[in-house]
Amino acid sequence: MTTLLLVDDDADQLAMRALVLERAGYKVLTAADVAGALAYCEFDVLIMDLIEDYLSLIASAGSRPIIVLTGSTVTGLPVARVLRKPCPTRALLATIAELG
């Protein structure tokens, strides 16, 4: 089973996405900030909002795929995919399946 680490400082978004991803069959770990996310070592794909100090979180992911969900236009990040918010669930699930 693929384990996802989902990081978002918006508690409602975090809970909603976690529920959707769990129902899709993934094991989901959640964190509201970088410090909470850094506590996890065992995950296959990192899905994150662009939150404060995000570069340290990206560095900690190592070679694991990273999906960034953002409402901003972002270029040049060392990540597998950047998906614009609001991101359709179908697009997020397809991206996870492709990378995971």
* Tens-digit pLDDT profile for residues 4-23: 999 999 999 999 999 999 99
Secondary structure element (H or E) that encloses residue 97, with its range: helix 89-99
What's the mean pLDDT in 73-80?
86
pLDDT in tens, 19-43: 999 999 999 999 999 999 999 999 9
CA distance 95 to 73: 18
Nearest to 28 by CA among 11, 52, 3, 53: 3
All domains of the chain, ordered by start, with CATH?
3-99 (3.40.50.2300)
